[in-house]
Amino acid sequence: MSTHYFITGTDTCVGKTWATVALMHRLRQLGKTVVGMKPVASGCTLSAGQLLNEDALMLQAAASVAVPYSLVNPYAYLEAVSPHLAGRQNPLKMDRVLACYAQLHALADGVLVEGAGGWLSPVNADEDNSDLAQALGLPVILVVGIRLGCINHAKLTAQAITAKGLHCAGWLASCIEPNLPYQQENIETVQAALAAPLLGVLPYQAVADFTGLASGLQLPEPG
């Protein structure tokens, strides 16, 4: 069973971080050691001279082994804008990301790498998240934010993953709106449209119960 995945989403703010942390908890429930990585993050805060990102801190805290923040989030930017804009003075370099990933890979059974924004969101002036996933050579788990428009977004993103030559190992339904009409019907429509298996539904929660969320998830089958 592969335990190394790239986590992408149909857009920004669709629940990628919660999904990644829930998957980390699921791996730990299955007796695996796991670490998370967010190669690039915008909208960071300065603390004791270091830029820190809330999502990356959640991944760091959820790891089953202690890892330095600089490996979890090697590129942290202050401005809450696209990384290709926020990082113009210190753009993401793929070699550095791959080196950090290799160190994390050596520390745990699994590494879950969370992208920034959607599948084709830029990470520097010339590359986007799809290039990052391709460089890492990881199968992809797609987080679909269940809201109006999600069917189109899910189908387009799944097609783009395949077009990049990467394997979409599964998808997660992330219920990001508390009272969405026809929520279950939307999930069923996406499930019928995607070839990748549905790995679980993350119900809407105002405060995350990651242990409970994890218990309802399955990991992709090998292959």
% the chain with pLDDT above 90: 97
Q: If 0-12 CB within 10 Å is exposed, 13-18 middle and 19+ buried, where does residue 208 land?
A: middle
What pLDDT score does 223 carry?
56
State the total domains in the chain: 1
Report yes or no on 86 lying in a domain.
Answer: yes
Q: What is the rounded average pLDDT for all residues in the chain?
A: 96
Within a domain: residue 50? yes
Residue 65: CB atoms within 10 A of its CB come to 11
Residue 46 CA to residue 51 CA, distance in Å, equals 4
pLDDT surpassing 80 at residue 222: no
**Residue 3 pLDDT:** 87
CA-based nearest residue to 135, from 150, 123, 125: 123
Residue 202 CA to residue 189 CA, distance in Å, equals 16
Q: What is the pTM of this model?
A: 0.96
Percentage above 70 pLDDT, the chain? 98
pLDDT, average across residues 11-40? 96
Phi, psi of 66 (to 5 degrees): -75, 130
pLDDT in tens, 165-215: 999 999 999 999 999 999 999 999 999 999 999 999 999 999 999 999 999
Catalytic center residues: 38
What range defines the domain where residue 41 resides?
Answer: 4-215
Q: Say if 133 falls within a structural domain.
A: yes
CATH of the domain at 13: 3.40.50.300
In this prediction, residues 137-164 reach a mean pLDDT of: 98
Mean per-residue pLDDT, 122-151: 98
In a domain, 77, yes or no: yes
3-state secondary structure of 4: strand
> CA distances (Å), 38 to each of 120, 188, 189, in order?
16, 30, 30
Any domain includes 223: no
Cα 176 to chain center, whole Å?
A: 15
pLDDT tens-digit profile of 76-107? 999 999 999 999 999 999 999 999 999 999 99
Per-residue pLDDT at 68 exceeds 70: yes
pLDDT at site 221: 78
Over 60: is that where the pLDDT of 1 sits? no
Q: Which pair of tokens denotes residue 178?
A: 């508390």
Contact present, 23 and 141 (Cβ < 8 Å) = yes
In a domain, 221, yes or no: no
222 lies in some domain: no
Position 34 in a domain: yes
